[in-house]
């Protein structure tokens, strides 16, 4: 399986190396540094040289990389890497080069504990923190993130590793003064509209995030209204899959933290939030955009932090803009015009005339990077809703549910 | 401090070793684990301390000591480890037992015979029936690991054992589930019913959030279906949708899933149907994802989805990313060669692209047209258009292609001789490939048009044989020279050799040997599935996997019950058996390509229309400040 695990910084310096099996030399890290970190071309997550394979993921200017010498199950390794990354964030809240250096020993222990002979083992924050304590100074700062009214009454009971009956993702004896469960139904829109107004891509990647502050070992149950509109359901490990297969009921004992209960896909978008029309004209040293955007959601809904982005490839000298509202700016670093509205009301139309003076070029520039949108609307787009949510405990539970629609990629070609 | 300096503190570390502080002890163990072989004598002196830890330490210390006593490659260490391993295997503590099980794998690596003689292999088999799922999974992991390396160990489970293992899946965590799913690959169904029983037990895991569990369940089901006499259609739909649903995972996982989609398109095109629009690229897809998607789009293209595929590819071909753009052009060209009925549309799309005069696009277009002209002879109108771009073709591969086209079709091209003469005027400085191609082309020209081609062929042959140092070029020059000189004696020979029939281009290269496909199907999700190469070719030491024989082995894949809607997409969620028929009528047809929706359908009139304000801020300075949002999006700096 995994022969060695490394953490590199962006310059290719080794921050942590851990050899789990024989078969790789110490200087193997140089190969990765040269072939991947310093190589601008090769950014593939998998690289096999001879019979040595390097697999990496990147985050916060760090490379988390493993070396393997056989035809390993790549899916298993990738899941391990992403789970290990989440574990680091659970331990240290923020993860960067300094954190990795400061908490070297803790991370080294975590690697040792989650890989047995190179095989990934259960990565469970609640269990691991009993064996490998979270650094004290981070524990205290973490309390900032907790809401003051939901103080945990203290679950001092140490997780009993030898006990087979316990639920791995939830420790016993959790108690809250106020029992609450928050549900966020988040719908990530993927929209691609062709220049003639055809929807080339329109689907939703949805997920339900749950934040629980519940005492004891609560059994929760929930049913999705009209399940036929969503597809490809994937559940958190706490959900009884057989129960769902049989009765369409999502039954679970939640972990004591925020977690992703399920994800789904919806191919059938019931409403499109915006209609954008773009008139585009290109002259030898000038390009003109005439853009109209109309919000199609209800009058009482609002899109927050709305941005219409116009990336350009031309070299510009100057530009003129006329608009019906919002603010407008050009961000030089990414060569993108941004038309911002802190709030975009429903059923409202706004227009923009943009004239860009460009450096005269001998060759016609044909690339027209799609215009793309950013926003967040507090409603759903798939039509998915929850029938009921029950917590089968004899205490009072406050339940919250919120629907959010935002784009994962919302592109319009012109 | 550099790593090698640390070794000097070895004696001090040994002094520290007897500490009660767990964290300090851990560090000591890490230290000797790293430097054991640099100072073997000092290392040996730690053995009594380790043995003491094994006998008296807390569970965590015992686990730590076990791990180390077997990973230090000194004989005394692992000889001393047998007794503590035996004792720890009976411990009350799960983590101690797990550590002990994994040490068996380490010991086996050093001395397989000793592990066997000491009865540890037999112990592993017994542990499969342990009451803790954790322990079962650990024992299976070690057995599977040894099976991969050993020449004589072959695990094989019967139906009872397989059902027992599958029943553990419900209570196991992700990683244990993975091990169990993998070990079930060592069960060969003897009857069709055995295969169905197992499939029923694992199918719900396709809904798991862990992508590896999904892929391994998929792999196991695909394997088991080889032993089914017929396959219900909802199973196939459920499997297909379990894969496509993983396309919302992080890039690296999507990449792996996409590679496996390619495998399925190649190996079971009639079974798994994927909607091509799922694989259209998003602007922020990393290049390795885009690449793979492009390959899938090419493989899935057929006459019915051609217009939407071409529209999409044409869009990519004017992408700012040069690599992407070139690959898209190549894909269009390959489609023209692959689908005869589509060739005209592809050719027109390419000509349309060429008329834009984008430098790098046209370099690639010439290359793909070489194959198109070679495959079909009805595109003479394109020939003149391509030739008209000749003066802007500069990249070596593109020039070779153009020179080949002019030489091969000299008959059809007016003034071919002067065109070719221009192209080969820098013969002496051209790269090798271009030189070789130029040589052949001028000879072809001469054979087709002896009068007009005479001057240029003489000039090039002279340069090739007198001025060029490369032996290959000289050799070929002399060869052609003699061939042409001997024309009077053997008329027609030169034509047969240089300008004869060219072999037909086919798209065989997209097909893989069925045996390789069979092996890859058994390795879904593994590294080999990324490379789509026989496992042994990438990993020489790997064992070959083949479908085991059994009376139940049959061709269930050609016998799918419940019709597969080939035109509609297959990712509509599979429903439980009872309502399969209903869902076919409702949701499957909606996302098909045939009925594409338009933005207008969603349109409603606005209540408030804000007019454009004629403000005075007509001209604004360009700002350089970065909003927080733009920082998030700084990945888009490809536009620099």
Q: Where do the domains of chain A lie?
A: 4-138, 181-271+381-412, 274-377
Compute the residue count for chain B: 640
Q: Which residues pair with A4 in a beta bridge?
A: A19, A67
Whether B358 and A366 lie within 8 Å, measured CB to CB = yes
In a domain, residue B420? The reply is: yes
Q: Which residue has the higher pLDDT, A321 or A228?
A: A321
- Residues in chain B with CB shorter than 8 Å from the CB of A186 are none
Q: Are B466 and B431 in contact (CB under 8 A)?
A: no
Query: In this structure, are residues A221 and A392 in contact, taking their beta carbons and an 8 Å threshold?
Result: yes
| Interface list for B 583-622 with A (CB within 8 A) | 583, 586-587, 590-591, 596-600, 602-615, 617-620, 622
CB neighbour list of residue B580: distance below 8 Å, 6 or more residues apart: B232, B233, B234, B562, B574
> How many cross-chain Cβ pairs, A to B, lie less than 8 Å apart?
339
Q: Which residues, at least 6 apart from B34, have a Cβ–Cβ distance to it below 8 Å?
A: A19
**In what helix (H) or strand (E) does residue A400 lie, and over which residues does it extend?**
strand A397-412
User: What number of CA atoms fall less than 13 Å from residue B215's CA on the CB side?
Assistant: 32
Q: Which residue of B has its CA nearest to A17?
A: B34
Does residue A8 carry a pLDDT above 70?
Answer: yes
Which 8-state DSSP code applies to residue A62? E
Q: Give how far Cα B340 sits from Cα of B275, B365, B377, B602, Å.
A: 22, 18, 12, 38
B63: CB partners within 8 A, 6+ apart: B95, B96, B98, B99
Would the CB atoms of B583 and A232 count as touching at under 8 Å? no
> How many Cα atoms within 13 Å fall on the side-chain side of residue B3?
10
What DSSP string describes B557-616?
GG-EES---SSS-S-SPPPPGGGHHHHHHHTGGGGSSTT--BGGGG----SEEPPPB--S
φ, ψ of residue B363 in degrees (nearest 5) = -60, -40
Q: What span, in angstroms and rounded, lies between the C-alpha atoms of A241 and B334?
A: 44
Q: How far from B584 is each of A30, B196, B230, B589, CA to CA, in Å?
A: 55, 23, 19, 8
Q: Read off the tokens for A117.
A: 């002979």
CA–CA dist B224, B601 (Å, integer)? 45
In a domain? residue B538: no
In this structure, what are the phi and psi dihedrals at residue A156, rounded to the nearest 5 degrees?
Answer: -80, -15
Decide if domain A181-271+381-412 falls under CATH 2.60.40.1170. yes
Task: Write the CB contacts of A77 (distance below 8 Å, at least 6 apart in sequence).
Answer: A1, A2, A55, A66, A68, A120
How many domains, chain B? Answer: 2
- Contact with chain B for residue A299, Cβ under 8 A: yes
CA distance B382 to chain A (A): 22
Mean pLDDT is lowest, of A122-131, B551-560, B622-631, for B622-631
| In a domain? residue B541 | no
Nearest Cβ partner for B629 among A121, A205, A307: A307
Question: Would you call B307 an interface residue with chain A, using a CB distance cutoff of 8 Å?
Answer: no
Judged against a pLDDT cut of 90, whether residue B487 lies above it is answered with: no
- Higher per-residue confidence, B381 vs B284: B381
- Of A401-405, B194-198, B229-233, B609-613, give the lowest mean pLDDT range: B609-613
- Residue B200, Cβ density class (10 Å: 0-12 exposed, 13-18 middle, ≥19 buried): exposed
A157 has a pLDDT exceeding 50:
no
Instruction: Choose, out of B573, B587, B614, B628, the residue to mutate when testing the contact with A (most A CBs < 10 Å).
Output: B573
> Helices in B57-186 by DSSP H: which ranges?
59-71, 75-79, 82-89, 94-110, 112-117, 120-127, 133-149, 159-168, 174-183
Kindly state the tokens that stand for B109: 């690596």
Give the separation between CA B114 and CA B508, rounded to whole angstroms.
51
- C-alpha distances in Å from residue B407, one per residue of B112, B367, B384, B437, B498: 66, 15, 14, 9, 11
The answer on pLDDT for A223 being more than 50 is yes
- Which tens digits make up the pLDDT trace of B573-595? 333 333 333 333 333 333 334 45
Residue B306 lies in a domain: no
pLDDT for B572? 35
Q: Which of residues 146-205 of B touch A (CB under 8 A)?
A: 148, 170, 173-176, 178-179, 182, 203-205
Tell me if A181-271+381-412 shares its fold with A274-377: yes
Q: What is the pTM of this model?
A: 0.73
Judging contacts by C-beta atoms under 8 Å, the chain B residues touching residue A271 are: 602
The pLDDT value given to residue B637: 34
d(CA A388, CA A352): 44
Q: Which of B556, B549, B547, B519 is nearest to B192 (CA)?
A: B556
Residue B621 has pLDDT above 80, yes or no: no
Nearest by CB to residue B572, choosing from A73, A203, A231, is: A231
Copy the structure tokens of residue B457: 């062929």
DSSP letter (8 states) at residue A33: I
Say how far apart CA A115 and CA A66 lie, in whole Å.
12
Tell me the CA distances in angstroms from A351 to A198, A355, A361, B70, one per residue in order.
21, 13, 29, 72
Q: B214 φ, ψ to 5°?
A: -60, -50
The model's pLDDT over B278-337, given as tens digits with 9 standing for 90+, comes to 899 887 788 899 989 999 999 999 888 988 899 889 888 877 677 788 889 999 999 998
Query: A68 in contact with B at a CB cutoff of 8 Å?
Result: yes
Confidence category of residue A76, pLDDT binned at 50, 70, 90: very high
Question: For residues A332 and A312, what is the distance between their CA atoms, to the nearest angstrom?
Answer: 10
- A175–chain B Cβ distance below 8 A for any pair: no
> Is B102 a member of any domain?
yes
Least CB-CB distance to A51: which of B138, B539, B608? B539
Dump strand ranges (E) for B439-569.
560-561
Interface test with A, best of B149, B237, B606, B622 (most A CBs within 10 A): B606
Q: Do B288 and A43 touch (CB under 8 A)?
A: yes
Q: Are A411 and A193 in contact (CB under 8 A)?
A: yes
Q: What is the ipTM of this complex?
A: 0.80
In this structure, what is the dihedral angle of CA atoms B7, B8, B14, B19, given to the nearest 10 degrees?
-90
Measured between beta carbons, the chain B residues lying within 8 angstroms of A312 are 639
Output the CATH code of domain A274-377: 2.60.40.1170
Token pair of A161 as six digits: 């590793």
**Cα diameter, chain A:** 76
Does A235 contact B208 at a Cβ distance shorter than 8 Å? yes
Instruction: Retrieve residue B165's tokens.
Output: 């293992």
Q: How confident is the model at residue A290 (pLDDT cuts 50, 70, 90)?
A: very high
What's the domain range around B130?
1-155
Smallest CA–CA separation between A2 and chain B, in Å?
12
**Residues B390-403: pLDDT tens digits?**
888 888 889 999 99
Q: How confident is the model at residue B264 (pLDDT cuts 50, 70, 90)?
A: very high
CB-based contact, B525 to chain A, within 8 Å:
yes
Could you report the per-residue pLDDT of B491-539, keeping only the tens digit for each? Answer: 788 888 888 887 777 665 567 788 888 899 999 999 999 988 888 887 8
Q: Which own/partner contact pairs does A24-31 have at CB distance under 8 Å and 24+ positions apart? A: A24/A52, A24/A67, A24/A69, A26/B3, A28/A4, A28/A52, A28/A67
Contact B599 A199 (CB under 8 A): yes
Q: What is the pLDDT of residues B64-121, one digit of tens each?
A: 888 888 888 888 887 888 888 888 888 888 888 999 999 999 889 888 888 888 888 8
Distance CA A317, CA A298 (A): 40
Neighbour-count burial for B143-152, b at 16+ CB within 10 Å, e otherwise: bbbbeeeeee
DSSP string, B396-435: HHHHHHHHHHHHHTGGGSTTHHHHHHHHTTTGGGS-HHHH
Kindly state the average pLDDT of the residues A209-216: 90
Query: Domain with B58 in it: what CATH number?
Result: 1.25.10.10
Sheet with A249-252: list strands edge to edge: A249-252, A220-225, A385-391
Contact between chains at A349 and B636 (C-beta distance less than 8 A): no
In a mutagenesis test of the B interface, which of A5, A74, A276, A355 is the best target, namely the one with the most B β-carbons within 10 Å? A74
Three-class SS of residue B537?
Answer: helix
CB of B364 within 8 A of CB of B394? Answer: no
Pick from B413, B409, B424: nearest CA to B372: B409
Across chain B, mean pLDDT equals: 82
Which helix (DSSP H) or strand (DSSP E) does residue A107 occupy?
Answer: helix A104-114
Report the half-sphere exposure of A210 (CA within 13 A, side-chain side). Answer: 24
Distance set, CA B392 to CA A24, B364, B402 (Å): 50, 12, 11
Strand partners, B501: none
Task: Spell out which residues of chain B touch residue A335, defining contact as CB-CB under 8 Å.
Answer: 639-640
Q: Return the DSSP state at B33.
A: H
Fold type of domain A4-138: Beta-Lactamase (3.30.450)
- Contact call for A409 and B586, based on CB within 8 A: no
Instruction: Give CA separation, A108 vs A284, B10, B541, in Å.
Output: 60, 20, 30
Q: Which of residues 385-404 of A touch B (CB under 8 A)?
A: none
Task: Compute the nearest-CA separation of B546 from chain A (Å).
Answer: 15
Assigned domain for B293 exists: no
How many angstroms separate the CA atoms of B331 and B313, rounded? 8
Q: What is the pLDDT of residues B47-73, one digit of tens each?
A: 888 888 888 878 888 888 888 888 888
Nearest-CA residue of chain A relative to B285? Answer: A409
pLDDT of residue B627 exceeding 50: no
Q: Is B487 on the interface with A (CB under 8 A)?
A: no
Quick check: B489 contacting A, CB < 8 Å? no
């Amino acid at each position: 399986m995994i022969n060695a695990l490394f953490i590199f910084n962006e310059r290719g310096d080794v921050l942590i190396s851990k050899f789990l099996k024989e078969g790789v030399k110490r200087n193997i890290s140089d190969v990765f540094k040269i072939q991947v970190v310093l190589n601008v071309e090769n950014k593939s997550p998998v690289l096999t040289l001879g019979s040595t394979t390097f697999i990496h993921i990147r985050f916060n200017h760090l490379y988390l990389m493993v070396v393997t010498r056989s035809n390993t199950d790549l899916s298993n390794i990738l899941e391990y890497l992403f789970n290990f990354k989440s574990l680091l964030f659970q331990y240290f809240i923020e993860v960067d080069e300094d954190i990795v250096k400061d908490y070297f020993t803790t991370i080294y222990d975590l690697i040792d504990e989650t890989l047995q002979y190179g095989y990934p083992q259960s990565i469970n924050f609640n269990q691991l923190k009993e064996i490998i304590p979270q650094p004290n100074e981070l524990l205290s700062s973490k309390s900032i993130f907790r809401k003051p009214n939901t103080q945990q009454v203290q679950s001092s009971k140490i997780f009993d590793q030898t006990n087979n009956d316990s639920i791995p993702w939830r420790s016993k004896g959790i108690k809250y003064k106020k029992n609450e469960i928050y549900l966020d139904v988040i719908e990530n829109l993927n929209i691609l509209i062709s220049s003639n107004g055809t929807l080339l891509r329109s689907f939703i990647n949805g997920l339900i995030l749950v934040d629980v502050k519940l005492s004891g070992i609560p059994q929760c149950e929930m049913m999705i209204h009209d399940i036929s509109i969503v597809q490809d359901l994937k559940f958190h490990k706490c959900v009884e899959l057989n129960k769902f297969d049989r009765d369409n009921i999502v039954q679970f004992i939640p972990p004591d933290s925020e977690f992703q209960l399920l994800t789904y896909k919806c191919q059938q978008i019931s409403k499109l939030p915006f209609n954008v029309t773009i008139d585009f004209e290109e002259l030898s040293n000038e390009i003109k955009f005439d853009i109209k955007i109309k919000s199609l959601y209800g009058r009482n809904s609002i899109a927050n932090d709305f941005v219409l982005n116009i990336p350009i490839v031309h070299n510009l000298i100057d530009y003129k803009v006329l608009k019906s509202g919002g603010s407008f700016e050009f961000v030089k670093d990414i060569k993108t015009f941004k038309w911002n509205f802190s709030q975009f009301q429903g059923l409202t139309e706004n227009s923009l005339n943009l004239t860009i003076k460009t450096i005269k070029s001998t060759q016609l520039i044909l690339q027209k990077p799609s215009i793309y949108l950013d926003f967040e609307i507090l409603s759903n787009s798939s039509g998915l809703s929850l029938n009921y949510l029950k917590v089968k405990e004899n205490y009072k539970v406050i339940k919250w549910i919120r629907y959010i629609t935002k784009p994962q990629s919302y592109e319009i070609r012109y | 401090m550099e790593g090698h300096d640390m070794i000097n503190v070895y004696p001090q570390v040994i002094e520290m070793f007897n500490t009660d502080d767990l964290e300090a002890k851990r560090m000591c163990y890490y230290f000797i684990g790293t430097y054991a072989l640099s100072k073997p004598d000092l290392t040996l002196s730690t053995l009594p301390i380790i043995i003491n830890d094994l006998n008296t330490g807390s569970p965590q210390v015992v686990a730590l000591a076990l791990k180390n006593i077997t990973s230090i490659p000194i004989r005394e260490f692992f000889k001393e480890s047998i007794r503590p391993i035996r004792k720890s295997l009976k411990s009350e503590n799960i983590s101690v037992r797990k550590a002990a099980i994994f040490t068996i794998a380490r010991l086996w690596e050093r001395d397989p015979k000793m592990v066997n003689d000491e009865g540890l292999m037999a112990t592993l088999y017994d542990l499969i029936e342990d009451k803790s799922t954790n322990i079962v999974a650990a024992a299976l992991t070690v057995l599977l690991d040894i099976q991969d390396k050993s020449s004589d160990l072959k695990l094989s489970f019967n139906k009872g054992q397989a059902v027992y293992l599958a029943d553990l899946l419900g209570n196991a965590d992700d990683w244990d589930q993975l091990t169990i799913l993998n070990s079930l690959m060592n069960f060969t169904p003897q009857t069709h019913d055995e295969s169905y029983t197992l499939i029923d037990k694992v199918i719900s895991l396709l809904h798991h959030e862990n992508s590896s569990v999904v892929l391994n369940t998929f792999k196991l089901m695909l394997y088991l279906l080889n032993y089914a006499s017929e396959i219900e259609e909802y199973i196939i739909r459920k499997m297909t949708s379990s894969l496509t649903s993983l396309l919302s995972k992080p890039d690296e996982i999507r990449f792996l899933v996409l590679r496996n989609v390619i495998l399925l398109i190649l190996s079971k095109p009639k079974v798994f149907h994927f909607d091509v629009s799922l694989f259209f690229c998003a602007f922020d897809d990393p290049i390795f994802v885009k690449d793979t998607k492009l390959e899938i789009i090419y493989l899935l293209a057929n006459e019915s989805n051609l217009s939407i595929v071409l529209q999409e590819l044409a869009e990519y071909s004017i992408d700012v990313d040069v690599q992407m753009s070139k690959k898209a052009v190549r894909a269009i060209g390959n489609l023209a060669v692959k689908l005869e009925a589509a060739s005209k549309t592809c050719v027109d799309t390419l000509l349309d692209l060429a008329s834009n005069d984008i430098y790098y696009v046209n370099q690639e277009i010439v290359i793909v047209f070489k194959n198109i002209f070679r495959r079909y002879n009805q595109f003479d109108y394109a020939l003149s258009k391509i030739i008209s771009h000749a003066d802007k073709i500069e990249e070596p591969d593109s020039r070779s292609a153009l020179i080949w086209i002019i030489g091969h079709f000299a008959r059809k091209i007016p003034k071919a001789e002067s065109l070719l003469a221009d192209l080969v005027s820098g013969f002496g400085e051209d790269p090798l490939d271009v030189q070789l191609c130029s040589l052949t082309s001028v000879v072809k020209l001469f054979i087709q048009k002896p009068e007009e081609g005479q001057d240029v062929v003489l000039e090039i042959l002279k340069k090739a044989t007198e001025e060029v140092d490369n032996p290959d070029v000289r050799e070929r020059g002399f060869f052609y020279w003699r061939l042409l000189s001997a024309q009077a004696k053997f008329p027609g020979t030169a034509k047969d050799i240089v300008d004869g029939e060219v072999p037909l281009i086919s798209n065989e290269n997209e097909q893989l040997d069925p045996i390789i496909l069979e092996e890859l199907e058994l390795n879904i999700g593994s590294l080999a599935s990324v490379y789509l190469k026989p496992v042994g070719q990438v990993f020489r030491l790997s064992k070959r996997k083949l479908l085991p024989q059994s009376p139940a082995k049959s061709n269930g894949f050609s016998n799918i019950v419940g019709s597969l809607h080939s035109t509609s997409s297959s990712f509509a969620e599979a429903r439980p058996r009872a309502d399969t028929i209903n869902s076919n009528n409702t949701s499957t047809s909606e996302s098909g390509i045939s009925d594409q929706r338009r933005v207008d359908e969603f349109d409603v009139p606005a209540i408030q229309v804000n007019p454009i304000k004629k403000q005075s801020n007509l001209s604004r300075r360009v700002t350089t400040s970065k909003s927080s949002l733009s920082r998030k999006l700084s990945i888009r700096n490809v536009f620099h």
